[in-house]
Copies of this chain bind each other. A is one copy, B any other.
Amino acid sequence: MKDNMKDNMKDSTKPRRPPNARDVAGLAEVSVSTVSLVLNGKAALRGIPEATIQRVMEAVERVGYRPNAMAAGLRRQTSDTIGFISDLIATTPHAGPMIQGAQDAAWEAEKILIIVNTGDDRSVQDRAIEMMLQRQVEGFVYATMYHRFVELPAVLREIPSVLLDCRSEDTTFTSVTPDEQSGAVAATEHLLSAGHRRIGYLQTNARIPAAMERLEGFKMALQSRGVDFDPHLVATGIDEFSGGFEAASSLLDLPTPPSALVCFNDRMAAGAFRAAHRRGMVIPRDLSVAGFDNEELVSLFTDPALTTVQLPHYEMGYWAVTNLLGQIAGTGAAGIRHRIACPLVARDSVGPPKDDPSSRDEN
């Protein structure tokens, strides 16, 4: 059907079809089973002599043999493939590390990832899952680009699946998410250790798990140090630069403004920077700021560099696939809810409070 026999001049044998195991067997003067055995490293078990192995390998080399994974998979009833469904790869910098982590874990197990990005479109998603199922994927990673709750297609229950950066009401699914709370604790404690006691919180108005959990961590950290939580020190806005700017402005205009700010995310933190600058404040001398997410560009452009909390995207991706492979192999457990720590990335936006000489030399 195809006409790709244009430049076949050195090969007198014109291989309309790629060489297969039979060709190798013929050349090596063995049977196809022997070829299969040798190529799958089972030669030793069956006591095939080195000489035969050599002959086979040479033949493989000679004809440029490449085993057909579809045929092997069909026979062996495996595909060594795992499906990766994600919502919105294109518009977030978080996708890269998650995919990379997933990919690395898969690679170590000689599995391959097939990725489809649904653009958050339900029908695309359903068709994608169906396609993957037809391709005999051994399991699914269902990933979202920000931590949220999802409603899952029922088919995912039929086959090992893990939720990456999201969770479901259905607790039979394994999920891996950032430990938002402990991340916020770390950021807040960092501020507390620098001597701050009057700490504001810039909250997002988005109703997402990270919102609650980070605030919760903030409160916990205060409490554990015996600092009362003051609801007036929480200002809310959209989780972008502008929201941070406005929320921070309202806090900084308070009669007794906070000396430090924990921000829902880096973008809001950047907004807080601007609000502070507009008021002639210098960070961290007049105001300490901690962000969340460690978005590369934000920390690159804030001046001074932003102290923030890292989201463990790579690690989550890696963990997701590792757990999935466990489920597939029958070893690992399903239905577990794993949280991965969000390490603090201390940079230069945190210092001691201005009017607290006691902690001048603490940081």
Contacts and interface: CB of A to CB of B under 8 A. Distances in A.
B241 A301 contact: yes
Contact of A103 (B107, B116, B241, B303): B116
B79 A89 contact: no
Contact of A112 (B3, B93, B135): B135
A71 B74 contact: yes
A89 B99 contact: yes
A267 B301 CA distance: 9
Interface residues of A, number: 53
Contacts of A113: 114-116
Interface in A131-186: 131-136
Copies of this polypeptide in the complex: 2
A68 B116 contact: no
A351 to B, nearest CB: 21
Name which of A90, A95, A99 has the most chain B CB atoms within 10 A of its CB.
A90
A348 B297 CA distance: 20
Contact of A301 (B95, B103, B135, B301): B301
A135 B92 CA distance: 30
A1 B70 CA distance: 21
A297 B66 CA distance: 46
A103 B74 contact: no
Name which of A79, A100, A112 has the most chain B CB atoms within 10 A of its CB.
A112
A49 to B, nearest CB: 27
A70 B73 contact: yes
Nearest to A266: B297
A134 B96 contact: no
A2 interface: yes
A70 to B, nearest CB: 5
B301 A69 contact: no
Contact of A69 (B66, B135, B270, B303): B135
Contacts of A270: 301
B97 A300 contact: no
Contact of A116 (B1, B89, B107, B314): B107
Contacts of A38: none
Interface in A51-69: 66-69
Contacts of A133: 66
A16 to B, nearest CB: 11
A115 B103 contact: yes
A232 to B, nearest CB: 29
Contact of A3 (B90, B95, B100, B330): B330
Report the 8 A-B pairs with minimum CB-CB distance, sorted nearest first. Answer: A297-B297, A90-B100, A90-B96, A69-B134, A69-B135, A93-B93, A70-B74, A89-B96
Interface of A: 1-3, 66-71, 73-74, 79, 81, 89-93, 95-97, 99-100, 103, 107, 112-117, 119, 124, 130-136, 240-241, 267, 270, 274, 295, 297-298, 300-301, 303, 314, 330
Given A95-B95, A103-B116, 7 more contacts: A69-B134, A69-B136, A70-B73, A70-B79, A70-B135, A103-B115, A113-B114
